[in-house]
Amino acid sequence: MSNSENRESPSLEELGSASESVVATLAALAPDLNDSSLYIHRELSQLQFNIRVLEQALDEDKPLLERLKFLLIFSNNMDEFFEIRVAGLKSQIAFDHEIVGPDGIPPKRALVEISEIAHRQIERQYSILNEHILPALDRQGIRIVRRDAWSHKQTLWVRRYFRHEVAPLVTPIGLDTTHPFPLLVNKSLNFIVQLEGIDAFGRDSGLAIVPAPRVLPRLIRLPDDVCEGGDNFVLLSSIIHAHADELFPGMAVQGCYQFRLTRNADLTIDPEDVEDLARALRGELYSRRFGDAVRLEVADNCPKDLTDYLLKQFGLTSAEMYEVNGPVNLARLFGLSSKTERAQLHYPPFTPSIPKVLKKAEDLFQVIAKQDVLLLHPYESFAPVVDLLRQAAKDPNVLAIKQTLYRSGANSEIVDALVDAARAGKEVTVVVELRARFDEESNLTLASRLQQAGAVVIYGVVGVKTHAKLMLIQRREGPELVRYAHLGTGNYHTGNARLYTDYSLLTSDRALCEDVHKLFSQLTGMGKVLRMKKLLHAPFTLKKALLELIGRETAHATAGRAAHIIAKVNALTDPKVIRALYKASMAGVKIELIVRGTCCLRPGVPGISQNIRVRSIVGRFLEHSRVFWFANDGDEQIYLASADLMERNLDYRVETGFPIEGKKLRQRLKKELELYLSDNTNAWLLQADGLYQRPHAGTNQTPRNVQAQLLDKLCGAGAVTGA
């Protein structure tokens, strides 16, 4: 029998006041928790996550094409890092509005450190590609054939391809007084060409720019009849390079070098300054392609006079130039996976499971009316969520559906079902967050689809992104209106549900569904903050409640009771939350954090965070779920949430945290958290210096891979343990 069954646990309010006195006592004894040395710089921590992703490309236990994918994901991550994070720091400096965070590092110093790390890691990336991945692919018969290795047959084929497919679409631009340096699209592939000679108009500037046509594939498969077995490819950059002289007839090409420019891609639109957010956003999306320059990538054999010329054109310094030994647009190599049929070079396929309670259910409403259903994607299928919405669209007893959409895709099954429901005469209300970064265009399209079907589309709240994942269905059952809800930690995106780990809760709990209804009322209407019974919601109660729950564990520890916190999030940057965790650690609370990406908390500092351990799991699936577990002296509490522990989530977004109350579901979640904490294969442990180390299994330890264990446990025969 648990302690909670023998006595009544103190309330949050009671323990909150106790916690305040504890904190006051500690404050008199403890060091200054505002000391900048206790905080890791956000962007530098994010770079460390990207490095952990890159390291996966060296893991020979992973299938070869999956190792390549990690190498390319690193490229995508670094693109966004420069487009958003580096661009943001540069903007602060440009506008003389430098913001120094708790870590005390000003933007100028941060940019110097970022540049040093990024140069080193990007150089490593190309070394890994050239020395490990490409030779290993070659041994498997998958080749990117370089120009100097083309056979006579291949050379002839490439020439025909260039003349028929490439040359008609290429627009070379000679540089002179009437042809200034062109405005180049963000991340586009371009060439700077050195020329000798005088053209038909007497021009002899000596330089030209050749933008690669964006409509052409960057990776082209060579026909089998010009190759000697295997899967053989050439790069568009190689084809253009080899035939640059044909673009400038009568001129001598002295050199041709590829380069790529990364621009600031953050949108600067202020919702409070526009009358029509959707119309303003459409205009801003175009300008994103031509933001301020932040990085130049160029072939490492490009002469210095040309790199200096490019840097001057873009207003960049040499520290912002990256000379690379290979294609400047590496992410285009993702096509290698789809263009080769090599199952053994990929992760083994698996079939997401359907819980027994749902497997043979013809009426999902009947099942959810009897019990809450918890799903862990991608191990358990996202299909029940889609099926519930589809059933609601067809059910004549369903009167209304309300839904939030952050990232879903304009042509997703979720949007299809909402369109069907609206056309069937249901009251469909959808809160679409137009400002979901890099999904703005897709969200504008799906908003139009929904409006044309008759749905009411709301663009959230001015100045506050709607990031909560909520679905509410109102159904007539006899004389009553009964509510059913889905609450999730991830987006309504069926593709992501196969790649991201996220929890879904299907429930008919009256109080929780009533809270969801109130939150939709706040989003679509106007009025004061509505009091919720169970749901925590940002920017109003979520952060306050989490701080109180941490404070309660602090009070338990101070009173000599066992105290323990486990939290799983994507990022931890909020200074108030970090300080609360430091105070809890100092009081003796055992704190285990599973933080996939950015973490500004510094663990293992004697006297402050010696009771805190931070681990990051990087593996086959992107860890995306947010879970908060509090021991509460035997009367444990668990919340799932849409929010990370970041100021932007807790203070400037609409987010939700929802309790898991069923005993079996709580036990399940605790066991799954323990699997994460025991992983010694995918885990990286954060050290006090801000760097990460891998915990290698000892000679007497069994290797533990949490994602493989969950595949085996939840997917059974559909999974392979070594996946």
Domain annotation covers residue 59: yes
Residue 251's pLDDT is what? 87
Task: Mark the binding-site residues, compressed into ranges.
Answer: 77, 407, 437, 500, 596, 624
- Within this chain, do residues 373 and 445 fall inside the same structural domain, yes or no? yes
- Within this chain, do residues 307 and 363 fall inside the same structural domain, yes or no? no
**Domain span including residue 542:** 537-718
> For 24-80, what is each residue's pLDDT tens digit?
544 445 589 999 999 999 999 999 999 999 999 999 999 999 999 999 999 999 999
Strand ranges inside 398-479, DSSP E: 398-405, 427-432, 456-458, 465-466, 469-477
Domain annotation covers residue 21: no
Residue 176's pLDDT is what? 80
Q: When comparing pLDDT for 358 and 179, which is higher?
A: 358
- Within this chain, do residues 403 and 528 fall inside the same structural domain, yes or no? yes
Domain annotation covers residue 55: yes
CATH of the domain at 215: 3.30.1840.10
Residue 720's pLDDT is what? 43
- Within this chain, do residues 447 and 554 fall inside the same structural domain, yes or no? no
Percent of residues, the chain, with pLDDT higher than 70: 89
Domain annotation covers residue 336: yes
- Within this chain, do residues 92 and 211 fall inside the same structural domain, yes or no? yes
Q: How confident is the model at residue 380 (pLDDT cuts 50, 70, 90)?
A: very high
Which one, of 20, 52, 39, 10, lies nearest residue 578 by Cα? 39
Average pLDDT of the residues in 607-611: 97
Instruction: Decide: pTM greater than 0.85.
Output: yes
Domain annotation covers residue 9: no
Residue 23's pLDDT is what? 45
Residue 203's pLDDT is what? 65
Task: Mark the binding-site residues for Mg(2+), compressed into ranges.
Answer: 407, 437
Q: How confident is the model at residue 435 (pLDDT cuts 50, 70, 90)?
A: low
> For 296-355, what is each residue's pLDDT tens digit?
999 999 999 999 999 999 999 999 999 999 999 898 899 898 888 899 999 999 999 999
Domain annotation covers residue 591: yes
Task: Mark the binding-site residues for ATP, compressed into ranges.
Answer: 77, 500, 596, 624
Q: How confident is the model at residue 441 (pLDDT cuts 50, 70, 90)?
A: confident
Q: How many CB atoms lie within 10 A of CB 151?
A: 13
Residue 282's pLDDT is what? 52
- Within this chain, do residues 514 and 543 fall inside the same structural domain, yes or no? no
Tell me which range, 193-207, 247-261, 276-290, is most confidently predicted by mean pLDDT.
247-261
- Within this chain, do residues 361 and 224 fall inside the same structural domain, yes or no? no
Catalytic residue positions, numbered: 467
Q: How many domains does the chain have?
A: 3
Is residue 3 scored above 90 in pLDDT? Answer: no
- Within this chain, do residues 331 and 383 fall inside the same structural domain, yes or no? no
Half-sphere exposure of 528 (CA within 13 A, CB side): 1
Domain annotation covers residue 177: yes
C-alpha distances (whole Å) from 372 to each of 534, 663, 667 are: 15, 11, 14
CATH of the domain at 493: 3.30.870.10
- Last residue of a domain, which of 304, 320, 345? 345
- Within this chain, do residues 526 and 545 fall inside the same structural domain, yes or no? no
- Cα-flanking dihedrals φ and ψ of residue 643, to 5°? -105, 145
- Last residue of a domain, which of 534, 560, 582? 534
- Within this chain, do residues 528 and 550 fall inside the same structural domain, yes or no? no
Backbone angle region of 678, left / alpha / beta, with phi > 0 → left and psi within -120 to 50 → alpha:
alpha
Average pLDDT of the residues in 611-617: 98
- Within this chain, do residues 450 and 553 fall inside the same structural domain, yes or no? no
- Within this chain, do residues 231 and 139 fall inside the same structural domain, yes or no? yes
- Last residue of a domain, which of 534, 557, 577? 534
Domain annotation covers residue 27: no
Please tell me what DSSP assigns to residue 182.
P
For the chain, give the mean pLDDT: 89
> For 662-708, what is each residue's pLDDT tens digit?
999 999 999 999 999 999 999 999 999 999 999 876 667 888 999 99
